[in-house]
Amino acid sequence: MLGHHPFSSAFTTAVVLVIACAPSLSDPVHPLECPLSVPDNAARPFAEALRNLPGDYRLIQVSWQPAPPRVGRGYLHLEVPDSLGRQAPCGFGRSKRDLIGWYRPDDSTQIEWRQILESRDPKSPGVVVRGASLRVGQQECVMDGAGDNLQITAVAHQGFWGYWVQDMGIAALMDTVTHRVVPVAAGFFCALREGH
């Protein structure tokens, strides 16, 4: 997951977080690793195509905002939940889950956040898929939950593609020099099936 979301614990009290100018952390992605264009055999993510998503993937997230561009890489696992796991408590109702899973980032994400992403607990998985929407991180039923929301726009036998937006929960980042609120990270992604 590209954003480390270090401020996403239940103890988060600040709404605005302050950041200073940081050095460029640009991490180039090779065009063949995650091309901007999808393969010729890709289709829209209709229900039939989404049923074939369970499996293991190499997830690559490329940011287009804020500058400089960054790349996040890791391993994504998706599986079909059992009949009891298809619905989860969410506020006063229940939330549908088509798939659940976990995500293991390549970078040195802090331990607490890594435990959330890598959770294999069916009641609180690190990843949830609803239709063509994939959530990596704390689930949206948590009031200050943080994560990345991935929208699947294309599916093929070798993987799936789309765009993503970081969700910082109740937090925001502010640049201490310009005093402007920094836009949330967003970009495109590809999830390439392992073994293809």
- What is the CB neighbour count within 10 angstroms for residue 103? 26
In a domain, 32, yes or no: no
What phi-psi label fits residue 179: left (phi over 0), alpha (psi between -120 and 50 degrees) or beta?
left
At 83 the three-state DSSP class reads helix
pLDDT in tens, 25-59: 446 666 668 888 899 999 999 988 888 999 999 99
CATH code (residue 76):
2.40.128
Domain interval for residue 129:
39-193
For residue 110, pLDDT over 90 is answered with no
Q: What is the pTM of this model?
A: 0.79
Q: Would you state the pLDDT for residue 181?
A: 78
DSSP-assigned letter for residue 106: S
In a domain, 22, yes or no: no
Q: Would you state the pLDDT for residue 129?
A: 95
Beta strand segments in 20-117, E: 55-65, 71-79, 87-90, 93-96, 99-105
Q: Would you state the pLDDT for residue 107?
A: 83
In a domain, 107, yes or no: yes
pLDDT in tens, 117-160: 999 998 889 999 999 999 999 876 666 678 999 999 999 999 99
Domain count within the chain: 1
**CA 68 to mean position of chain CA atoms:** 19
**Nearest partner of 57 among 163, 188, 158, 165, judged by Cα:** 158
Query: What is the C-alpha to C-alpha distance for residues 7 and 30, in angstroms, rounded to an integer?
Result: 30
Length of the chain: 196
Q: Are 71 and 62 in contact (CB under 8 A)?
A: yes
- What is the CB neighbour count within 10 angstroms for residue 88? 19
Local confidence band at 11 (pLDDT 50, 70, 90 cut-offs):
very low
pLDDT in tens, 54-95: 999 999 999 988 878 889 999 999 999 988 777 776 666 667
In a domain, 30, yes or no: no
**Nearest partner of 136 among 78, 82, 85, 56, judged by Cα:** 78
In a domain, 19, yes or no: no
Question: Which residue would you say has higher pLDDT here, 124 or 174?
Answer: 124
DSSP string, 108-148: ---HHHHHHHT---TTS-SEEEETTEEEEES-TTSTT--EE
In a domain, 143, yes or no: yes
